[in-house]
Amino acid sequence: MLDFHEQIYQGELKNEHNKTIERLRYNLRTINSKYDLTRKQNEYTHNLGVSSTLWDRLNYALEFSNIKIDAGQAENPVSNIKNYSLDVTSNLTKKLSLNTVFLSRIEENIQTNRTDNLIATDAKIRYNPSKKVQGQVRYKESHSKKFLLDKTYNEKILQVKEGTTTEDNYITVEEPVTTRTGSFLIDILPTAKIRSQLQYQFKNLVNINTRARMSVSDSAMMEFKYAPNRNLSSIYRLMNAKNTQNVGEYMASRNLNHNLELRKSLNTKTALISNTEADYKTDVYRPLENAETYSQGLRFEKDLSSALNVTSGLAYARIDRISPYYDSNKVSVLGGFRLIPKRFRMTLRSNLDYSIEDDEVSKRHRTILDNFIDYDLGGDTALSANYKFVNSGKTSYEEGYKARIGKMTLTKRF
């Protein structure tokens, strides 16, 4: 039996003058086991920061935090983490602004005698020439260490072709890497009835020692929305994504997706939504992922009250695969609800997807139940939880399985 007791102690000192705020925070988080005194952990956080809006076109925030963790009945040191950050925002004009964040993190693991350094720079530019056109460019670069599963190129290709690749075939290597991510977004609203959006983003992983590019992923998305009146709207989305990985588990995949959604409001509380989608996937190293999927769906939404919304629907998909895998047809029954209780600052959501897939040899029944809860605890503290249950039957090319996945996140904004 597991029975843990958690205690949190917090304190803050704040001084404000001439549009400058100085803060000093202290946080102690203690976790104890009722039945095992050795299962104890203390987390001490010291935070010092200063922020200023003294100048109209330049704001900054400088922050330092030190996190120490000890564990066990003797409270033996486990780790020591130091974070340094500088956030600078410059409003160059009413239409143009620049935000830059510099972050340095030093994490010392006392038990393994290991020290990791992380250096990151994040820059974001916003340009809004008018109310009808808005744009944003973002670039982030970080330097850290990463454990890689690596082999020589020829050996790796041979293993993949023979289908005998396992993790035992690889050598674990720790290498310093540079991670580069970037995005571009433009939002255009020519009229009140039309809205279009273009977005592109990428992520590259580069070995600092060899300068070799280890993985590349990028995606482009276009969205066009047309709403001639309040009761009718349509959204068309086009997405093209590519992923390539040259170390460890090789990857070379592409995904092209077309999606058209039509929404018709029958009255203020009821709506019908139809969805048509065409999805094309290709993968060099995973032949089962090579598929063309054409799907259609119809959903019904209704607000039973100001707090409760329910949905139900049907969907059909035809999946074409390359030989030796069989083509299949899939029928899905959809259902769900969203509840926002008036007395509590929370949102409850649940979605059910029951499907039957027939590939001419066998039928697979799959049930997916996805539950979410978002709870605002107050004081800049929020709790999010997700529980997912999957029951997938056996087919001619896959074994059946059952899975339960749970996740809980507690967020505190300082």
Backbone angles phi, psi at 162, to 5 degrees: -80, -15
Structure tokens at 389: 């249950």
Average pLDDT (41-65) is 90
Q: What rounded mean pLDDT belongs to the chain?
A: 84
Tell me: pLDDT of 87 over 70: yes
Question: Which residue's entry shows tokens 């674990």?
Answer: 172
- State both tokens at 348: 């409850």
pLDDT of residue 37: 66
For residue 257, pLDDT over 90 is answered with: yes
399 pLDDT above the threshold of 90: no
Say if residue 154's pLDDT is above 60. no
Fill in the DSSP letter of residue 167. G
More confident residue, 72 or 43: 43
Question: What is the model's pLDDT at position 135?
Answer: 93
Q: What is the pLDDT of residue 167?
A: 44
In tens, the pLDDT along 6-38 reads 788 888 898 888 888 899 999 888 888 766 666
Supply the DSSP symbol for 166. -
Q: What is the pLDDT of residue 225?
A: 95
Q: What is the pLDDT of residue 397?
A: 66
Are 294 and 318 in contact by the 8 Å Cβ rule? The answer is yes
Residue 267: which residues within 8 A CB-CB, separation 6 or more? none
Range picked from 276-280, 282-286, 402-406 for highest mean pLDDT: 276-280
Q: What is the pLDDT of residues 315-358, one digit of tens each?
A: 999 988 887 778 889 999 999 999 998 777 889 999 999 998 88
How far apart (Å, rounded) are the C-alpha atoms in residues 37 and 32? 7
Check whether 367 has a pLDDT greater than 80. yes
- At residue 396, the pLDDT reads 67
The strand pairing partners of 336, in sequence order, are: 311, 351
Written as one letter, the residue type at 331 is: V
Q: For the chain, what are the domain ranges?
A: 1-124
- Please answer whether residues 21 and 12 qualify as being in contact, where contact means their C-beta atoms are separated by less than 8 angstroms: no
Note the maximum CA span of the chain. Answer: 75
pLDDT given at position 3: 60
Q: Which residue has the higher pLDDT, 77 or 246?
A: 77
Higher pLDDT pick, 20 / 209 = 20
**DSSP letter for each residue of 118-134:** EEEEEEEEEEEEETTEE
Q: What is the pTM of this model?
A: 0.72
Among the listed residues 133, 172, 183, the one whose alpha carbon sits nearest the alpha carbon of residue 150: 172
The rounded percent of the chain whose pLDDT value lies above 70 is: 88
What's the mean pLDDT in 35-42? 75
